[in-house]
Structure 1
């Protein structure tokens, strides 16, 4: 969920909106989690949830780092599986599908509207090839509930559903980052698997929470910025 520099993987992303260009609403939906809106602002597409800006197609460096860092943290196991949460504008999915090493690529997205904007709407221009990849599966589910329930294990969890552990889209997402939520993440990883969590800023407290939840090798990777606070990826390993 970043808004920094242009992303060459997404057509049109290199051209930002001109001065004074007003955003245009392309679709507005009311769902079980509130309102979601798809807007076009110049050449950018933006997703707004309950009046809060979530993400746009201007930059995907930190989302690509989310996937790259998770893959780099894994051992040499063949065709590791990854669960991406959520779909957003598709940066993380596109990155994973572009890497031959991944095996199964599952994406958890609770907003039907966002899935449809990719399947039949404007976001399909960015993700059609990744969605058509035979390794890809879209899980229409709430990520927090999905992880807390019984189910398969993954070699990597790449999670980006909020602006960070301390800046959630809604109150319900807070359960992903507390002790019970992190324990659920740990249990849904294979031994030696990696948890990667996107955040708009570093959080030493979250790093400590990961250690308290039984993770090892806890660290962060930053996206360099000219000024301001960098986006980061929190990484942690389930003990082998």
Structure 2
């Protein structure tokens, strides 16, 4: 028999803003902070294992690619994190001394503000204070198409994945043209790591057709449903 204590508390809206891409909401549900965009749940602070694994898998693949060509670990690699989210990937990268530069591209000014002076600051304040870290307010697809900078690793987590996009325009990232832009900004033997809420064998094929090598998919178990995954590919040397 249920009791009133079995009923979860209703989420509390902490901030609601109209941004350049629509409405963005930050709310608290119990101990969790949640980001909602245009009425669609994007992410929360419940776990973070797969977001941290995104960074670890990229670094491991980078070292393996260099070792496979007879090189030692490259000093101070530059990582681009696509999507600030709740800050798990940024905080994890900043906790690792191996990374030389950490560039985070986030298109929602509200999300950046919640990290700099809002409720998400508790998750990312130390990382944002790291001199290696830099936040760029930009659409990731446009940024990768236009930047003159180059990177040793791209850790991209801007949607639910190649087969399940919820934001108009993000599908371009996973297309042959989008992957060509990713390859353009990667240094030789650089790594592309893409987070997804579900496996996508089709995307593995797209990565290979785009010229990426050592293509593989890592699965990260979650509490319910299919595992999160990280798709990995290496630009040839």
Task: Give the TM bin, normalised by the shorter chain.
Answer: over 0.9
Which SS does the other structure have where 2:149 is aligned?
coil
1:20 CA drift (Å)? 2.1
1:31 CA drift (Å)? 1.2
TM-score by length of 1: 0.91
1:150 CA drift (Å)? 3.6
Matches within 5 A, 1:118-133: 118-133=115-130
Which SS does the other structure have where 1:166 is aligned?
coil
Separation in 2, partners of 1:35, 1:90: 20
* Corresponding residue for residue 45 of structure 2: 57
* Corresponding residue for residue 13 of structure 2: 25
* Corresponding residue for residue 163 of structure 1: 160
Counterpart check, 1:173 vs 2:170: yes
List 4+ stretches of structure 1 deviating above 3 A. none
1:170 CA drift (Å)? 1.4
Separation in 2, partners of 1:25, 1:90: 19
Q: Where does structure 1 lack aligned partners over 5 or more consecutive residues?
A: 1-17
Separation in 2, partners of 1:165, 1:34: 22
Bigger drift between 25-34 and 162-171 goes to 162-171
Kindly tell me the number of residue pairs found equivalent between the two proteins.
224
Which SS does the other structure have where 2:198 is aligned?
coil
Separation in 2, partners of 1:26, 1:195: 34
* Corresponding residue for residue 193 of structure 1: 190
* Corresponding residue for residue 232 of structure 2: 235
Deviations 1:47-79 (A, max 9, x none): 000100000000000001000000101131011
Q: Where does structure 2 lack aligned partners over 5 or more consecutive residues?
A: 1-5, 64-72
Q: How well do the aligned residues superpose, as a CA RMSD in angstroms?
A: 1.3
**In structure 1, which of residues 11, 34, 39 is the aligned counterpart of residue 27 of structure 2?**
39
TM-score by length of 2: 0.92
Verify the 8 A CA contact 1:161 1:169 in the aligned structure 2: no
Larger Rg belongs to? 2
Higher helix share: 2
